[in-house]
Structure 1
Amino acid sequence: MEQKLCVCVLGLGEMGKIHAESLRRLGGVELALASKRSKSLQELGVRLYVPEQLRFSSYEEAIASPLVHAVVVATAPSEHTQQIIAASRAGKHIFCEKPLGLSVESAQEALSCLERVQAEREESERKIFMIGFMRRFDPAYVRGKELVESGVLGQPTVLKCTSGDAEYPAKYQRDVGYNSLLLDLAVHDIDLARWLLAAEVHRVHVVCRSLVYPQLAELGDADNAIVTFEMDNGTVASAHFCRAFGYGYNVTSELVCQRGTVFLGELRRAGDAVRVANTAGALSERIAPVFAERFELAFQREMEVFAQAIRAGVLPTGAPGALDGLQATRVAEALVRSWQTGLPQLVL
């Protein structure tokens, strides 16, 4: 009988709990949990039937444990780099929630460690690294990518994105030391632009405002941002990032092509349908609700792909890896420079 793959979730905040529940549903996977918060660790451990020996009160203990084969890094963004480095040196497979790092320097440090450790191993002993850009696994976005690659709508020309929450998360309504709107939220749409337009971001421009939560301006953050991305193949993307929609979670995209427009993200959950407008008319679907429900299938699918990649020994084509995380951080850092200067910035 094949040995079960033991995957430990580091951090049991909202994303950690989502990933833990997704892993619990997978066959051939044994779930482990690590948290500094004993109450959360105990409650989730009991609810998901995690044995005591697989509940860790420190991340270091979990990473060092010979019982653990892989980790899911779902801790605070400021902790990602060091945990990636520690897990890589400990010989673990790694899934990391976005962002890879809060600066190009920290993201590059993580990537360099991954590459160095991989180079020291025999090919059969190399480990999987995957980053959490879950929209690549959402049925609607997957269908949109398939439509683009089929050529039925011609070449894509413009991508328009909207991303945000009903209200600003409480965890960011204090001095976290960085612009969370650009360095944490925007990286999803940066990756989406790179993936759907099959190009790298060349230049960016952003306008940030603190319109609903004026105190955020003093913390170096914002609740609204309008961004343009100039891609190196001549296409263009724009995005509205918002932490104050009021009515709920909103992630929608329009991909304008030569012979039609694909409306993405307007589904409640299941199915691979999208809304396409062209000379034949339009197919309409419902607007998406809160993120945990909206992307439930995507979160489940990315954990499935992570587990399958570990068993296969290779990350499948299209699954986001460390380089994708680094590129997203490069663009996000350029957005911060644009916000600080008020001028367009090249992506370095």
Structure 2
Amino acid sequence: MDRNICIAVLGLGEMGTIHAESLRRLGGVELALASKRSEVLHELAERLYVPCALRFESYEDALASPRVDAVVVATAPADHTERIVRAAQAGKHIFCEKPLGLSAASVEKALAQVEHARLERGDFGKKVFMVGFMRRFDPAYARGKLLVQSGALGKPTVLKCTSGDAEYPAKYQRDLGYNSMLLDLAVHDIDLARWLLGAEVHRVHVVCRSLVYPQLAGLGDADNALALLEMDSGALVSAHFCRAFNYGYNVTSELVCERGSVYLGELKRPGDAIRVADPAGALSERIAPVFRERFEQAFQREMEVFAEAVRKGTLPAGAPGPLDGLAATRVAEALVRSWQTGSPQVVQH
């Protein structure tokens, strides 16, 4: 594609705004915005210099526009499956925020509809579909992946993850009736484990508690969870999910290998959040207050990768696609079953 490409962001909440800002910084990209909230739409459009012709007060109008080549789906998670199907039917390239859906069955159905729509249009194999697992594009985690691939530290054996926010986001406390801790937050670490270890999750066990926000128990959610993931490679993953850290946003990982460990995220600043357990290691006590700051470079990089994929018509190796999104939701569902039953659960691949 030699001309500028036009990418429309559907949904202008926090993630939609982040993606819009990232796309606005890219050369060769026209930014379009779509939101049902007129005031939010036009306020952001003015700030990012989006022309009136590329401001849409309905998602349907954005998808119907011949000027729009691709969409970034950043609506509520429950709407994701519908949006990706409609986007495929309209012949658009797709980037969808995680999770792809709140159940594996809904994601499987949507992906089948996407495939059918693209076959009918003759778009199959010509349109890209990328999922928002931004940790793959974070400099720290990317360096960790390279270390694993190099074999310098030997075979990975244990991955320890911590993921969480300073407080429970108010947007999740609206009578959701589902465990957003597992179906929304945990999918990041599930994808990280699959990608970093190069293995699939075989069995899971989780314990969830509402220790800081007792009212969450009545909403089917929790503010703290401890999970164990058994990989089919034999490696083990432990994960602490939390939405009550109070002191700031904390995403850290320790990858234990046969001949050493890699500490990912410890500096908690964009671009330098890695420490290797050797004499050259360094540590900072500064903690990023919100995820926008911690993963600023990752968000920018994933939009760069998506835009380039749209131009070329293919995703690069290692970029997360729809099957990665489906795999993460299958594991998250197994975690929910474990929480509900109190027993380990085999992942239904």
- Shorter-chain-normalised TM-score: which range? over 0.9
Matches within 5 A, 1:16-31: 16-31=16-31
Q: Is the deviation greater in 204-213 or in 176-185?
A: 176-185
Report the RMSD for the aligned CA atoms in angstroms. Answer: 1.5
Cross-structure match for 2:42: 42
Deviations 1:195-225 (A, max 9, x none): 1111000000000000000000001000000
Structure 1 residue 288, shift from structure 2 partner: 4.0
Aligned positions of 1:313-324 closer than 5 A: 313-324=313-324
- State the partner residue of 2:2: 2
**Contact (CA 8 Å) 2:23, 2:29: kept in 1 or not?**
yes
1:63 corresponds to 2:49:
no
Aligned to 1:83: 83
Residue deviations 1:274-296 (CA, integer Å, cap 9, x gap)? 21114x56433455412101100
Shift of 1:178: 1.4
**1:116 Cα deviation after fit:** 2.5
The separation in 2 between residues aligned to 1:292 and 1:224, in whole angstroms, is 21
1:255 Cα deviation from its structure 2 partner: 0.3
Correspondence for 2:312: 312
- SS of the residue aligned with 1:226? strand
Measure how far apart 1:271 and its partner are. Answer: 3.2
Name the structure 2 match of 1:284: 283
Give the secondary-structure state (helix, strand or coil) at the position aligned to 2:212. Answer: coil
- For 1:153 and 1:288, the matched residues in 2 are separated by 28
CA contact (8 A) 1:277 1:283 kept: no
Sort the Cα spacing of 1:56 and 1:171 in 2 relative to 1 into closer, same or farther, 3 A. same
Q: Is the 8 A contact 1:209 1:223 kept in 2?
A: yes
Residue number in structure 1 paired with 2:137: 137
- Quick one: structure 1 residues 51 and 335, their matched pair in 2 at CA, closer, same or farther if it must change by over 3 Å? same
1:160 is aligned to 2:160 = yes
Report SS of the residue matched to 1:307: helix
Structure 2 residue runs without a partner (length 5+): none
- The residue number in structure 2 matching 1:243 is 243
Following superposition, which runs of at least 4 residues in structure 1 exceed 6 angstroms of deviation? none
SS at match of 1:168: coil
Query: Alignment partner of 1:204: what SS?
Result: strand
* Partner amino acid, structure 2, of 1:346: V
Displacement after TM superposition at 1:165 (Å) = 0.4
TM-score by length of 2: 0.96
Deviation of 1:100 after TM superposition, in Å, equals 0.6
Count of matched residue positions in the alignment of Structure 1 and Structure 2: 347
C-alpha distance in 1 between matches for 2:68 and 2:284: 43
CA distance in 2, matches of 1:273, 1:206: 28
1:126 is displaced (CA, Å) by: 1.6
Q: 1:116 to 1:286 in 2, by over 3 A?
A: farther
Q: Is the 8 A contact 1:163 1:252 kept in 2?
A: yes
CA distance in 2, matches of 1:74, 1:123: 23
What is the SS of the residue equivalent to 2:8?
A: strand
- What is the match of residue 102 of structure 1? 102
- Deviations along 1:259-317, one digit per CA (max 9) or x if unpaired, are 11100012343435621114x56433455412101100000000000000111111000
What SS does structure 2 have at the residue aligned with 1:284?
Answer: coil
Paired position in structure 2 for 1:14:
14
The match for 2:256 is 256
Call closer, same or farther: CA 1:117–1:181 in 2, change over 3 Å.
same
- Partners of 1:125 and 1:64 lie apart in 2 by 21
Q: State the shift of 1:112 in Å.
A: 1.2
What's 1:299 paired with? 299
- Contact 1:183 1:333 (8 Å CA) reproduced: yes
Separation of aligned partners in 2, 1:318 and 1:88: 22
Question: Quick one: structure 1 residues 273 and 179, their matched pair in 2 at CA, closer, same or farther if it must change by over 3 Å?
Answer: closer
Residue identity in the other structure for 2:94? I
Letter of the 1:141 counterpart = Y
Instruction: Determine if contact 1:309/1:316 at 8 Å carries over to the other structure.
Output: yes
